[in-house]
Structure 1
């Protein structure tokens, strides 16, 4: 079985984390969408992944999955739950205090849907890096 070069995979994961982080900051700071509690949990789980996976990509450390995969897997769960709540509740708020993410759609996806896609892609990149080590 051929060994996978993990550096490009980790670099792609870093790019996903950077885009997700920049997007969340754009939504709140530029568009003025107020994040709800679930949005904050997703941010807390995504933001450190930029540095953790980024440094691992620079240093070619596929063992980063030990610290990064729990964050991205938990982020996937929170984003999936957040997406579910938006569909199940069918209202303009998803948690106590409201959520600006219901108001904005990109390609038909809400912000929690976009977050779910980012966490899934990042988790897949980490699993591929794990398999390639």
Structure 2
């Protein structure tokens, strides 16, 4: 017998997945817009971040439409690795790590004013925020799923 609390928790789990998918799609479309429409070639660290964001957009879409909250065990590692790359990139951008490896030697530098949104939001920080938000949403869907099994 299902009660209203169980049904609401199932809806909440799906909502976490849907939010994670929307973030992944928005980040993927933004990366494509910057690269293909604006014409800014991504640096090597940006390419690595894309390699983890693009599959998330596809996997989270399938999981959202199927209501598969078990996707967290596949999506969370992708988000965590992407977040680690974005964190390293953000630390390079902030100047906290010396740029000895020159990750932006190909294409424009991510530290230039061209690689900001609204003239003040650097792309490495936005990528880090997107991966973190996806990871939090996936953890949220997992937490709700784990609390339902205890009931």
> How high is the TM-score relative to the length of structure 1?
0.89
Q: Which of 117, 130, 145 is equivalent to 1:106? A: 117
SS of 1:101's equivalent in the other structure is coil
- Which residue number in structure 2 is paired with residue 42 of structure 1? 49
The Cα offsets for residues 8-35 of structure 1, whole Å up to 9 and x where unpaired, read as 1111110000000000000011111110
Q: Does 1:14 align with 2:25?
A: no
Contact 1:86 1:94 in 2 (8 A): no
| 1:50-69 pair list within 5 angstroms | 50-69=57-76
Residue ranges of structure 1 left out of the alignment (5+ in a row): none
- State how far apart, in whole Å, the 1-side matches of 2:121 and 2:103 are: 15
Q: Residues 23 and 116 from structure 1, CA distance in 2 versus in 1: closer, same or farther, beyond 3 angstroms? A: same
Choose the corresponding residue for 1:33, options 36, 40, 59.
40
The question of whether the paired residues in 2 share the 8 Å contact of 1:34 and 1:100 is answered with no
Distance in 1 between residues matched to 2:143 and 2:52, nearest whole Å: 23
Runs in 1 of length 4+ with deviation above 4 angstroms? none
The alignment yields a C-alpha RMSD, in angstroms, of: 1.8
SS in 2 for 1:116: helix
Contact kept in structure 1, 2:44 and 2:103, CA below 8 Å? no
Per the alignment, residue 149 of structure 2 pairs with none
Unaligned runs of 5+ in 2: 146-151
